[in-house]
Every structure is written in C-alpha cells, then in structure tokens.
Amino acid sequence: MTEDDQEPAGESSLLAVSDLHVGYQENRAIVEELKPATPGDWLLVAGDVGERLADIEWALRLLAARFERVIWVPGNHELWTPPADPQELRGVARYDHLVRLCRSLGIGNPEDAYPVWEGAGGPVRIVPLFLLYDYTFLPPGHHTKESALEYAHGTGVVCTDEYLLHPDPYPSREAWCRDRVELTEARLAELDDVPLVFVNHYPLVREPTDILWYPEFAQWCGTTATRQWHRRHRTAAMIYGHLHIPRVTWYDGVRFEEVSLGYPREWKRRSGTRRLLREVLPQ
C-alpha cells in the first residue's frame, strides 16, 4: 500500500489518517513514504501511531517535518505501558509526556487551542479530542460493564487495554473518560459558529461498531456521552480510527469517516487500491 495514486500538486488539502501502528516494519515503511501532495497540506492523525514512545516520536517527528501542520490525538495504543518500553510511564503521566512531545514538535493536540483550517472547504475548526471510553457501548443482551466484561472474557475477545492501559491516578478508565468528557464539553460550549471537524480515536456514536465481527469489542470503542455532539454542534465531519475498517458512513447528515491503516494482516487483504491519506473536506 503506497501513495502512488496521489493527486497532482494543486490547492492544499486537509488530510487524515489513523492507526499507523509503526511497530510493524511493513507499516513503518509505508509511513516513511507518506508525503503531502502540496506544501500547504495539513494532516490529522487520529491515534494509534504506535506503542513504544520511541516509535511514536519517530513517526510524529517525520510527519511534522513534511506537512504544513500535524494535529494528533491519542489512541489506546499510545496510552499502553508495554513491558518492552524503557519509559514505564502510566496513565495521565504518559499522556502528558506525549502532549509535551507534540508541543516540542509543533504538533497540535487535544490540550491546545483548536486551530482553524482556512484552505479548501474551509473555514472549519479542528477539534482534536481525547475522551477514552466508559464501557457504555455494551454488547447485545448485556446491561452492565461487569456482565459485558464477563462475556468478553468468556469468548476470549478482550482488549489489551485491560492489561496495559492504566488510568493512574484515576481509579478506573471510565472515571478518566468521565473527566475528559466534562472538560471537553466545557471547551466546546465556548466556541463560535465556525463548523467543526471532530477528530477522535473512537467514533462519537455507537453505530459504526455494529459492523464488528465481535460485538463484545464495542465496549472499548467509545462512550454514549458523546452521542449528540455532532448534532449539538455545527459539524462538517467526524474523523476517527480504532476499528480498522476504513469507510464513510452518515449520521444525521454528518459524514463520519474511519481513516485507519491497521495491521499488515488487515490492509494486505483489502482489494483494490485506496489512497491512505483521506481528504477530510471532499469537494
């Protein structure tokens, strides 16, 4: 998979990608080839760049040097504390470290001011989100987190977050999620009427997870607390990843686009050609 079908240089574009997973050599080779089509292109990175801090820094540094502006949000993999990572940062400390890294590279992130894209399709305000999940995307037939987790463990479909994504100093991942949602809602309430492009690792609504082969995995894919955000705010597009199922769907007239690369075993199975960097504001 390459960018061999990039369009000729012209008007600058707002582009998006996610789930680069550069710990895989095949994916790392793809990232090494990613380049803007025009000097003014912006790139939105919707999480899961990698797991090890050194790999994440390598990829973000490379992209920041090539694109006019890069805006990043964390996925669950960036927040893991993998045993092989020399820096054993956990929870909020790990996230804060990544925010400092982004700032040192000039990369936008959920803690900074929301920038406005003035290029083709604009103006739109880019809203990078860090919200996590709270186990409210329950599989059919289950009404509590405890029941859903028991079911998942019984089927063997359990997200690695349960072992490597630590919420410290919060007592739980859902408590961390609740705090992030409240903080973000307060920021959104202060915005003007410029249309928004939401960028989050997870979809803001439950419906995109209905396509999952294993419905028990949905509980690690978002929160019902954001169900009305794309309707409550003037929304141009909602960009997400995590599911490794790149596609476009529409909810209440708003385009939701999953922009992931995914694991080599996944993208190698996809038929046909697909441009990896997706245009956020298609004409």
Query: pLDDT tens digit string along 219-238?
Result: 999 999 999 999 999 999 99
Alpha-carbon gap, residue 161 to 149, rounded angstroms: 12
**What pLDDT, on a 0 to 100 scale, did the predictor assign at position 279?**
95
pLDDT at 175: 98
Residue in 19, 7, 15, 60 with CA at minimum distance from that of residue 41: 15
How are beta strands 69-72 and 196-199 bridged, if at all? unpaired
**Using only C-alpha atoms, what is the Rg of the chain?**
18
- C-alpha distances (whole Å) from 221 to each of 161, 197, 203, 247 are 11, 19, 7, 16
pLDDT (0 to 100) of residue 269: 86
pLDDT value at residue 6: 45
What is the pLDDT, as a whole number, of residue 1? 46
Which residue is associated with the tokens 């240089």?
9
End-to-end CA distance of the chain: 24
61 and 50 in contact (C-beta within 8 Å)?
no
The pLDDT assigned to 5 comes to 43
Two tokens at 50?
A: 């990698």
Low-confidence ranges of the chain (pLDDT < 70): 1-10, 271-274, 283
What are 136's two structure tokens?
């409210």
Indicate the length of the chain as a whole number: 283
CA distance 120 to 99: 28
pLDDT at 3: 42
Per-residue pLDDT, 275 = 82
Q: Which pLDDT belongs to residue 87? A: 81
Round to whole Å and give the CA distance between 230 and 193: 13
For residues 46 and 259, is the Cβ–Cβ distance under 8 A? yes
DSSP per-residue letters across 10-70: -S--EEEEB---TTSHHHHHHHHT---SSTT-EEEE-S-S-SSHHHHHHHHHHHHHHSSEE
Q: Is residue 70 a contact partner of residue 41, using CB atoms and an 8 Å limit? A: no
What is the number of other CB atoms lying within 10 angstroms of the CB of residue 211?
12
* Distance from C-alpha of 172 to C-alpha of 150, rounded to nearest angstrom: 17
Among 41, 50, 46, smallest CA distance to 18 is for 46
